[in-house]
Amino acid sequence: MTDPPPVLHRVEEVMGIPVGIDVRDDGVDPGAIGDAFAHLRWVDRTFSPYRPESEVSRLNAGTLSASRAHPVVQEVLARCHVLHGRTDGRFDVRATGAIDPSGFVKGWAVEGAAAILARAGARNLCIHAGGDVRVLGERKPGAPWRVGVQHPFVRDRVAAVLAARDLAVATSGAYERGCHVVDPRSGRPPDGVLSVTVVGPDLGMADAYATAAFAMGAAGPAWTATLDEYEALTILAGGRVLQTPGMARLRADALGREPARPAS
């Protein structure tokens, strides 16, 4: 059974990472994909700490005061402040001394891109951005998007497959993408964490929670079990996978079934 090809599909490099947009609905203005990428580029110009002219860089340089920053910048920093509290301080835009909200901004920017496409009539789409994923609707009627969780050691294999509808999926991990094998014993505590995948309604939040849980190390999985609306899957260095019950219900592989749907 082959899937219908995407109606609109494009991969571009934005924010230093490849971003892919895949829309499955007919009748969506192709210009909407261009608008979505334009939004991501605007976010990059405004928030990148690597661009001297960005608002974030000027805030750090002291040439822009917070009260004169773009309202959207103020909103993002306020949301990061809330996340700082919710993660017991683990998610910290000032962790490096300077302001760097990148850990939230990437997912938040993708949410904005998805909203632009939804306003143009897209109901079934998938966006990936450097390992983070946002899906709306389904890949085809009755079939959820299948999101593979990257295996930490084997580049062309997945450790889990999630059946996703209207879901944000973010992963924070220690492995290098180019490597075939990463030795978990090299410089890693025995109970070290290889990756944390967090799913939920918002990609910015999922991204921040994944970063925070990863930073918590062995205490991360227990912490993820306390999150409202978000579920998590943690891969530990010893080859153990710990997941919250809600995440287990999303699994399309281990449980050997996709969530039941009436036949169409």
Partner 1 sequence: MTRGPVMRRAVPVALAAAVVAGLLASVRARPPSRPLPAAGAGGGTIASTATATAVPEVRRVSSKRPRRKGPVRTGMSTESTPFSIISVRVTLTGGELTRVETVELSGTGARTEAINARAEPILREEALRAGSAKIDVVTGATYTSRSYMKSLQAAIDEARRRD
Site for partner 1 in 243-262 (CB under 8 A): 243-246, 248, 252-255
* In the block, residue with structure tokens 């995948």: 197
Reduced to 3 states (helix: H, G, I; strand: E, B; else coil), residue 1 is coil
CB of 3 to partner 1, least distance (A): 8
In the region spanning residues 56 to 115, those forming contacts with partner 1, defined by CB under 8 A, are: 88-93, 95-96, 100, 102-103, 105-106
* Residue among 67 and 256 whose Cβ is closer to partner 1: 256
Size of the site for partner 1 (CB under 8 A): 91
d(CA 153, CA 176): 9
In the region spanning residues 114 to 133, those forming contacts with partner 1, defined by CB under 8 A, are: 126, 128, 130-133
* Residue among 69 and 128 whose Cβ is closer to partner 1: 128
- Provide the CA 30 distance to its chain's centre, in angstroms: 24
In the region spanning residues 143 to 202, those forming contacts with partner 1, defined by CB under 8 A, are: 145-161, 169-178, 195, 197
As given in the structure block, the two tokens for residue 180 are 């075939």
In the region spanning residues 193 to 212, those forming contacts with partner 1, defined by CB under 8 A, are: 195, 197, 207, 211-212
CB of 157 to partner 1, least distance (A): 4
Q: Angle, nearest 10°, between helix axes 102-119 and 203-215?
A: 160
CB of 63 to partner 1, least distance (A): 21
Determine phi and psi for 260, rounding to 5 degrees.
-60, 135
* Residue among 4 and 68 whose Cβ is closer to partner 1: 4
CB of 206 to partner 1, least distance (A): 10
Planar angle of CA 88, 91, 92, nearest 5 degrees: 105
* Residue among 2 and 68 whose Cβ is closer to partner 1: 2
How far CA 1 is from CA of 24, 34, 135, 142, 163, in Å, comes to 17, 31, 21, 13, 17
d(CA 127, CA 17): 13
CB of 111 to partner 1, least distance (A): 15
Strand partners, 21: 10, 127
Per-residue x/- marks for partner 1, 10-49, CB under 8 A? -x-x-xxxx-x-x---------------------------
Sorted by sequence, the CB contacts under 8 Å of residue 253 that are 6+ apart come out as 158, 160, 161
d(CA 163, CA 161): 7
d(CA 233, CA 227): 13
* Residue among 65 and 260 whose Cβ is closer to partner 1: 260
- Residue pair 10/37 in contact (Cβ under 8 Å)? The answer is yes
In the region spanning residues 219 to 238, those forming contacts with partner 1, defined by CB under 8 A, are: 219, 221-223, 225-226, 228, 235, 238
CB of 119 to partner 1, least distance (A): 22
- Is the Cα torsion angle 178, 39, 72, 199 positive or negative in sign? negative
* Residue among 68 and 164 whose Cβ is closer to partner 1: 164
CB of 68 to partner 1, least distance (A): 25
